[in-house]
Amino acid sequence: MQASRTDSVRRVVVTSSCAAIYGDNIDLERSNLSQLTEANWNSSSSPHHQPYAYSKTIAEREAWRIAERQDRWDLISINPSLVIGPGINPFATSESFALVRQLGDGTMKMGGLAYEFGAVDVRDVAEAHLRAGFLPSAEGRYIISARDTSLMEFSKILQRHFGKTYPFPERTVPKFIAWMVGPFVKEGSTRLFIGRNIGYPLRLDTQKSIEELGMNYRSVDAALIKMFQQLVVNGVLA
């Protein structure tokens, strides 16, 4: 690792993900906790189920393994939830851009799923990295998330701002219908994913980031609106 070969390095900040905290929303219920914290690790993902979340978990665990084998530098892990807000590249293919685009391009005009997740402004994620890098007291992992939200709440936020201009989903698709047709509609929407995520609440504890990094999170509503406007201005959405 390059950090170990550079004498001046005293701290490494790694960008991980909330995907390394949990794999499916049902993980919260199975944990018997009211909120997921930095003490939680994703143990439900695998190369065959939620492979992205599995890869983020394996990568972060390896970073901690490397850090524990030396004593010259310390490691901080930033674990953001769904990152939204204005992007440098409005034509990006990230999951967040795809999700927001699909809310307005008619993909979900027949209805959205009862799917909950955390969301955070990209600028807060950048700020968290800086604070983690320079605050001497920072240590360990940090969940970076402005608030818990949902797919249908995203739709309502956009409807309030843009009205009927775009075919935002207005009703929630029943879980049994999603279970039957999901695998044929969207890649990754397996029946296992739907069964473990749709209809299950998600709660993330962000107190550590507020108390230790001094995070004062930006508005999720404003970040989402700005992100959608960027897609419109750049012709991604007509």
pLDDT above 90 for 90: no
Residue 97 falls inside a structural domain: yes
pLDDT at 77: 98
Q: Residue 19 above 70 pLDDT?
A: yes
> What pLDDT is attached to residue 169?
96
Higher model confidence: residue 98 or residue 187? Answer: 98
Is pTM beyond 0.75? Reply is yes
Q: Count CA atoms closer than 13 A to 59's CA, side-chain side.
A: 16
pLDDT band at 87 (very low <50, low <70, confident <90, very high): confident
**Domain assignment present for 15:** yes
Residue appearing with tokens 């807060």: 124
Residue type, 103: L
What is the domain extent for residue 200? 2-229
Q: Work out the average pLDDT over 199-204.
A: 97
Q: What is the CA radius of gyration of the chain?
A: 19
The CATH number of whichever domain residue 12 belongs to comes to 3.40.50.720
The answer to whether residue 235 is domain-embedded is no
Is the separation of the CB atoms in 80 and 60 below 8 Å?
Answer: no
**Residue 234 is assigned to a structural domain of this protein:** no
Asked if the model's pLDDT at residue 187 lies above 70, the reply is no
**What pLDDT score was predicted for residue 39?**
98
Q: How many domains does the chain have?
A: 1
**139-165 average pLDDT score:** 97
- 151-162 vs 220-233: helix crossing angle, rounded to 10: 70
The verdict on residue 128 lying in a domain is yes
Per the domain annotation, does 175 fall within a domain?
yes
Identify whether the C-beta of residue 172 lies closer than 8 Å to the C-beta of residue 151: no
What single letter denotes the amino acid at residue 183? P
Q: Which residues pair with 75 in a beta bridge?
A: 12
Asked if residue 92 is part of any domain, the answer here is yes
- The closest of 137, 116, 151 to 209, measured between CA atoms, is 137
- Residue 178: closest CA among 170, 189, 165, 166: 189
pLDDT over threshold 70, residue 188: no
pLDDT greater than 60 at residue 185: no
Q: If 0-12 CB within 10 Å is exposed, 13-18 middle and 19+ buried, where does residue 10 land?
A: exposed
Q: What is the pLDDT of residues 107-120, one digit of tens each?
A: 999 999 999 999 99
